[in-house]
Amino acid sequence: MSNRFQRITPFLWFNEEAEQAAHYYVSVFEHSRIRAVTHYDGDTANAAGRPTGSVMTVAFELDGQDFTALNGGPAFAFNPAISLVVNCRTQDEVDYFWNALSKGGNPAAQQCGWLQDRFGVSWQVVPVQLIELLASGDARKAQRVMKAVLSMKKLDVDVLQEAAA
């Protein structure tokens, strides 16, 4: 058991797909699990306008990061103003996470490594080399790399490195 204390936990509001989304995300990321599922009882169901016995929250972990998902109804929807970043070490990782997270979603709606999954959550699938290239201290290199980023949907490490060269 870890003594790690996570002070900040992303909280995701779904209409009624919280459990489905959590199971899907857990299947995509290694070292992930569902930690707890709560259900609406008579009092909470009435107050929230949700069916008694339906899933209220799902506590889950993705690669060691805690999340909570809520079935809160249609009052709020996801938008790209908030996204989750997946840092990748290799192009194979970029390809894997891009394909897994965009399956059934809308990868073409955004650019620069952003995609929207089938639940409406925005993700950025980013190779760690991008940050290294942008932070190299060479302004011209950073401009070339950023120009390449702006031309891509899914990021390509080789193209980024070519732009930097």
pTM of the model: 0.89
109 CB contacts (<8 Å, ≥6 apart)? 115, 116
Architecture in CATH of 11-71 = 2-Layer Sandwich (3.30)
Burial of 25 (0-12, 13-18, 19+ CB in 10 A): buried
What pLDDT is recorded for position 109? Answer: 67
- Order across the sheet with 33-39: list the strands: 11-14, 65-71, 55-62, 33-39
DSSP character at residue 67 = E
Residue with tokens 């999954």: 117
What pLDDT is recorded for position 116? Answer: 94
Question: Options 3.40.50.2000, 3.10.180.10, 3.40.630.40, 3.20.20.70; which CATH number does 83-164 get?
Answer: 3.10.180.10
What pLDDT is recorded for position 106? Answer: 82
What pLDDT is recorded for position 1? Answer: 55
Task: Bin 51: left if φ > 0, else alpha if -120 < ψ < 50, else beta.
Answer: beta
Domain residue ranges of the chain, discontinuous segments joined by +? 11-71, 83-164
Question: Taking a C-beta distance cutoff of 8 angstroms, is the pair 128, 87 a contact?
Answer: yes
Residue 158 sits at φ, ψ, to 5 deg, of -60, -45
80 CB contacts (<8 Å, ≥6 apart)? 110, 114, 116, 122
Alpha helices per DSSP H over the chain: 18-28, 42-48, 91-102, 128-134, 139-150, 157-164
- Among 1-15, 63-77, 92-106, the minimum mean pLDDT is found in 1-15
Q: What is the pLDDT of residues 51-86, one digit of tens each?
A: 888 899 999 999 999 999 999 999 999 998 999 999
